[in-house]
Structure 1
């Protein structure tokens, strides 16, 4: 097109089609007008700023002048199809070159403008600089990868955690069927006298002991083996293939020999040993079977007073029989009044005052005494009793908080958190049951927080999201408990109507215990706080046991905290005396 024709076209654009001019000049998106020969006629301010050119420099410039050389052939082919009438419009992502030669990504949409007779007049390209979007996506991928690593590894030792261990065990046990006679083995290790180190030398020394033990165990393993921290002072060695019990026992003895050497904890030397339970797996065994059997063998070794290593055999089924007896007793525990609720305070780090309490079930068995919560809660989940137990906890927690709100001025806005299991989440009448309980006790929906673990949400994320949305419509808040110990992708978190993330105690524990450990712990917690802020939810830290941890959480912008430093779980009467009286706690 000649300069005369270009000027005529440019003049007609400026004199007519006022709506087009308004959009053209006022758009924040880059817009360029291109003649039918592939030369720029005009660009709006946003486009000129994007490519770093003046109007005069842009005019008559061919498309190829701005295209990245690798992207131009595709763009030129599409443009020819547009000019020939084969395409009404096209869209693609490509790279442009600025005037200084730097490349940047854009999303381009090109179309033809025709006159009233249908004759093509010029092309319009709408160009969006997607550099920021690409950077955000890259940062999001990095963050998600970091969170995935956190979700699959123990933050203290760096070893695989239960989740990664389960993945590897499942893969290995499934493959046993393809190799007749093949066996695998699980070594379940429990450190002896670890509590003595914690109590006498502090948690920092205990953490360092665990790190050194982890390194020694890793050195004993073959490349194909997995060494995992199972929790507390328990470790797992998983051997995907093993010759037999003699090989597993030999490894257990080698581990005990390695652990027998003194551990240097600052200026002190500490000694530890381990009780080891061994379970051999064959085709048909599941990871849960192997872990349970190895755990039983370990307890057998620890309790027997004999050799510190034991291989599981069927004679160890006594624990299963005892569990069945406990199940029978649990079914009648509510009716007999053996279950009670304890309450642990949750404080606001902004005000220092008690903002709420977590309701925790306790069972005082008439024969066995206090049954550990993790024992009877897991029993209730396995036997289908969790629905009845959870319903009792919900109703009793609501009743107690309603009573406190009416009796203590300081508790007028007290909130209560209740744990919800995966099975309860699947119950069809859950939402109505929660609403009815709140109504019965005269509580506003905001007084109740339901706590769910990541694992309970990932079993059926679509159904779980539907239940959460229904709860949200009733203004009931939902907290994601033990965050970081499971794996939730950022995309799934964005889709869930959550109100808060509860940072798992294992991450909080990393906030003290030496400058290097504390710095790493603060980085992990800071990442979770930043994620929560991006989701628009609050953050609650669990397991706060030291002033150092509390101060670090305040600096990192955490909203709420709970733990033994603030208060242990207490019966209702003791909780009211300690935290709701005339002089309530201030952190």
Structure 2
């Protein structure tokens, strides 16, 4: 209210001022009530009647204690008595009203004393605001916070955030303590990145988010913690301002080392032959795509000669022993980067990086190695090997090479077994 308005109001007659007060009292959007020194309602407005759930005619004359929640009454009465005793002029308090139907209404009350010329309290005026929705929001917020806290206790990791404008980065207390121990302080970006494995730095890069190119990204990287290096999965989300500009990045990093190791073990198992430990056909395809062979490579198809009688005469356990020993001998014929695969039964495939001479040498070693007797529980058995090999200079379709090697294997068997037939891919194509 301006000074001119105040002067104008003071110049009005008492009747006009009272009329203005009555209008403001009755039509206020919040509850207003006049209370006597015994705590009884002298007068209330429509908004107050709605709050207590009673008509004005009924609420007039009631004590506020009659509709105040019992658990809130003691604190309210103590403050009320302080006002009557002259130790305070008013007070504010949150409390609950109970309506006749049992519904509970949360309210915020501001009480002010009205005094006579002698300074004695003659009545009190209350302004009452309904805060039920606000209290419900607070309850839900607290519930969600509690749920989040429980969820975070069930996982290993925590939150971090980064302000896009200032580039300020900070971890949560929980994440810092997960990384560096119970007494650790929150980490800045420099100290956090020091913990990320150097080989995973590109994965942890935040540039696309900072530039606003994406709104969400997931990164997996290794992080050095107080219990050693752990695999972390970090869900990063970009928050934007009202104009759509990048504002803040929030990340949640969770330790998923056990899950990562299980997946790795499963992936390894799915690409290996259960009996021999060699690559299976799926593992061969995956490994072949990563093979580095600038000088070319040879594909060797290997089939055992005399294996069926071992199973027929000595049983499948003896046959398994032969297959395991064959795998050992094949591995001894190649280098670590070469590929050895069991495709099924007594059939094997080798992929050898290097020149044509390198491939021929390995094929001959395989034949020679398999001429030695194989020990089984019953003694030993004589099992030989036939090999069909093909060499290619440039990367060629694997299935095409396997087909060519198989045809050469059949040629080796047709010529008497226990031998190898080897050609270059060009020669094979010309003959076909």
Greater share of helix residues, 1 or 2?
Answer: 1
For the pair shown, the structure with the greater C-alpha radius of gyration is 2
TM-score normalised to structure 2 length: 0.44
Q: Which has the higher contact order (CA 8 A, sep 6+)?
A: 1
Greater share of strand residues, 1 or 2?
Answer: 2
TM-score normalised to structure 1 length: 0.34
